[in-house]
Amino acid sequence: MFIGAVAVAFTGTFNPGWCAANSDVPDLRYYRQVERGPAQRLNFDVAVYGGTPAGVAAAVQAGRMGKDVVLLSTNRFVGGLTSGGLTATDVGNGASIGGLALEYYTRIGRLRDLDPSEAEALFLTMLDEAGVTVLFDRWLESVIMEEGKLVSATMETAETVAASVFIDATYEGDLLAAANVSHYVGREPSGTYDESLGGQMQNVSWSNVYQFCKLPVSPFVEPDNPDSGLLPEISDEPLGEKGDGDFRVQAYNFRMRLTNKADRLPFPKPNGYDPGRYALLARFMNFDPEIRWTLDYTTTPMTDGPVQMRNGDSNNAGSFSSDYVGGSNLWPDGTYEATSFSELPPPRRGLTMPFRELYKIRERVFQDHVTYQQGLMYFLANDPQVPKSLQERTNGFGIDPHEFKETGGWPHQLYIREGRRMLSDYVMTQANCESKRTVDDSVGLASYAMDSHFCHRMVVELDGKLTVRNEGGFGHGCPRPYPVSYRSIVPRKEECSNLLVPLCLSASHVAYGSIRMEPVFMILGQSAGTAAALAIDAGIAVQDLAYEKLEKRLAEDGQILSFLPGDIYPLAKLEGVVVDDEAAVATGEWMHSASAPPYVEQGYRHDVNKNKGDSTMTFTAALPASGRYEVRLAYSHLANRAEQVPVTVHHRDGTQTVVVNQRKKAEIKGCWTSLGHFDFDEQARVVVSNEGTKGYVLADAVQFLPAEAEAVSVP
């Protein structure tokens, strides 16, 4: 069924000349038209469309509850990104993971750094144990709707799948769109949900990270000559006003599986390779000899990636990196319009074009990403414009030949960070992520920072000079795990009464940036499978399912539905003078995290276990009066922490360095350790250093208590 197409013009930077399929690796494709068989009807209780972690978890849960379940995977794999490259799991707060997700990671033996083949094998085992029918290479062609209910979905194979309840577990939201469910693509204006991170040019952004080291790199073919045209990979699309919305989508990439072992494969030269495509990177790499290339994440001034290179899952890391900025806008529904708006337009409903046409567009975009990212790695490894030291370090790594053998060692799954987002009766927003707004119908917890990769690479004027910057990226922590509403994973009842959407759920672009992590998709998938089974048993619409009944079953199956913040200390509840890491001054490389409570406010910083002796965090406090104070340091202990962290207290009589063992649980409320009592004038200073340490060094907060105060107030 073709529903209400939206005619939207594409005016972006997508270049079809860079889209030839890689003939050397014929299986490295998003879409291949399958052979059409005889028409047949397949009947199930629950039909799950999409072999993502959400789809697997939904199918396994419904199968365990005695339902006849089919999982329809568009490609030849299950597991989505978890088995497709993203094995350095974006955990957030590990204490928020329960149910099937926790079972999965427990059975595989670890949360992070899985082997993709091992990850997929466990998914297949769990599906088999639950009695789920798995059908590969199934591409949705059309659906039949009757009186607001999905009756059946027909695949390109000519199989018509009928079910009592359907679950859309795709990264794009294809089934919900075919069912005429309301949805959005792109970024809402900041005023839509009163989000400081919303829209263009956010107030809180990666303003100082991956921004070409703040250098005035010219964006023009001939430096400083606008008439010569823009370098490749820089957009000429105009921005709107600060906070305006648009239809841009955050950047996608492939999570490469790299190794520095002797049997590594060299980075391939893709069909359509054009070194000129990386002219901006070449100019940046040779712009200033003071830039330090880290080949990893960095937040330190005058450092840059330009990519993350490590044994295993290797991600975007740099101003010009594996993220194809501006290359993903066509992916969600095949359309894109380069426009801005201060008021959110009406939601989209239906499809913009027949599915096969959409799949072919995505295949071209997929191949464009292959050519871009493989070309980037080939450029870094071979082009004479790349500084010799960086080129040598790049060539110390290569493709891991032991994974993704069907596709020449390259991941088969593109990292689709965002597609369509459903609009239902409840929209998750930044306020939910910040625990300023909560829900009473939780189907699981999310906890990762609100995280968007760049949406746009543009020309800006700084100090009277035209240069290039990235726009749309942000990384802003959540103070604690927060509940996701059941209403956000079901459509409005009048639109579709038997569909659940655990992946492309109802959320703003900002909130989706936090929710969009693979463990959370498993959590929400399990809850969707549970709701589907219970709704079938009761013979009711999924929207009419009593939450109390759903909550009871979810709790029985180990889902964690609420988070008691006893291990998180808001500044307002603490006595004395407290300086949080957000107010401290950093030198060297420090990374924000909130994955291991207890901690103060929104998390803590750690030194990435690197650059020992180069990194400090200085906590300076203005005290209400001179006198004697007890000084306490906050940290969360783990086995990977440093045992001998030097912490120097600058007091009235000089300095004293206290060595703190951060592997040992802090003696005060499990969070605070006393550094001693000291006399101060009206200013105090404490410096945490990583000099001489082995393991991760944490810098969370420092508390100054008048000598007579003994207790730390807790929420």
Question: What's the pLDDT tens digit per position in 419-467?
Answer: 999 999 999 999 999 999 999 999 999 999 999 999 999 999 999 999 9
Please tell me whether residues 615 and 518 are part of one structural domain: no
The answer to whether 523 and 516 are in contact (CB under 8 A) is: no
Q: At 629, is the secondary structure helix, strand, or coil? A: strand
Please tell me whether residues 499 and 584 are part of one structural domain: no
The DSSP element (H or E) to which 484 belongs, if any, is strand 482-485
383-397 pLDDT tens trace: 999 999 999 999 999
Q: Identify whether 414 is part of a domain.
A: no
Q: What is the mean pLDDT of residues 601-616?
A: 90
Please tell me whether residues 606 and 526 are part of one structural domain: no
User: Looking at the chain, how many residues does it have?
Assistant: 715
Confidence of residue 205 (pLDDT cuts 50, 70, 90): low
Q: Identify whether 13 is part of a domain.
A: no
- Predicted structure pTM score: 0.81
Query: What is the pLDDT at residue 394?
Result: 97
Q: What is the mean pLDDT of residues 510-532?
A: 98
Mean pLDDT score of the chain: 93
Q: Identify whether 49 is part of a domain.
A: yes
138-185 pLDDT tens trace: 999 999 999 999 999 999 999 999 999 999 999 999 999 999 999 999
**Calpha distance 671→234 (Å, rounded):** 47
**Calpha distance 380→269 (Å, rounded):** 11
**Calpha distance 476→451 (Å, rounded):** 7
Helices (H) and strands (E) in the chain, counts: 11, 36
Q: What is the mean pLDDT of residues 352-375?
A: 98
Q: What is the mean pLDDT of residues 25-35?
A: 89
646-679 pLDDT tens trace: 999 999 999 999 999 999 999 998 899 999 999 9
Query: What is the pLDDT at residue 144?
Result: 98
Query: Tokens 């707060």 identify what position?
Result: 93
Q: What is the mean pLDDT of residues 236-260?
A: 97
Query: What is the pLDDT at residue 654?
Result: 96
Q: What is the mean pLDDT of residues 271-288?
A: 97
* Beta bridge partner(s), residue 253: 415
Please tell me whether residues 443 and 583 are part of one structural domain: no
Q: What is the mean pLDDT of residues 274-278?
A: 98
CATH number at residue 498: 3.50.50.60
Q: What is the mean pLDDT of residues 686-713?
A: 85
Of the candidates 597, 523, 522, 505, which has an alpha carbon nearest to the alpha carbon of residue 560?
523
Q: Checking DSSP bridges between strand 604-606 and strand 591-593, what pairing results, if any?
A: antiparallel
Query: What is the pLDDT at residue 204?
Result: 62
Backbone angles phi and psi of 648, in degrees to 5 = -105, 125
Confidence of residue 565 (pLDDT cuts 50, 70, 90): low
Q: Total structural domains in the chain? A: 2
Query: What is the pLDDT at residue 21?
Result: 46
CATH number at residue 651: 2.60.120.260
Please tell me whether residues 145 and 61 are part of one structural domain: yes
Query: What is the pLDDT at residue 563?
Result: 84
Please tell me whether residues 35 and 159 are part of one structural domain: yes
Burial label for 290, CB within 10 Å (0-12, 13-18, 19+), is exposed
Q: Identify whether 538 is part of a domain.
A: yes
Q: What is the mean pLDDT of residues 587-595?
A: 82
The DSSP string of 539-590 is T--GGGS-HHHHHHHHHHTT------GGGEE-GGG--SEEEEGGGSEEES--
Q: Identify whether 99 is part of a domain.
A: yes
The answer to whether 317 and 253 are in contact (CB under 8 A) is: no
Q: Could you tell me the CA-to-CA distances from 329 to 14, 362, 419, 456, 458 in Å, in that order?
A: 9, 10, 9, 10, 15
Its sign, for the CA torsion 507, 511, 517, 520, is: negative
**Calpha distance 46→60 (Å, rounded):** 11
Query: What is the pLDDT at residue 591?
Result: 83
Here the tokens at position 486 are 């059941």
Query: What is the pLDDT at residue 410?
Result: 98
Please tell me whether residues 570 and 497 are part of one structural domain: no
Could you give the angle at which helices 99-108 and 116-129 cross, rounded to 10 degrees? 120
| Structural domain boundaries enclosing 679 | 566-706
Query: Tokens 């105009």 identify what position?
Result: 238
User: In the chain, what's the furthest Cα-to-Cα distance?
Assistant: 88
Q: Identify whether 346 is part of a domain.
A: no
Q: How big is the chain by its Cα radius of gyration, in Å?
A: 26
Query: What is the pLDDT at residue 219?
Result: 98
Query: Tokens 């104070």 identify what position?
Result: 629
541-562 pLDDT tens trace: 999 999 999 999 999 999 999 9
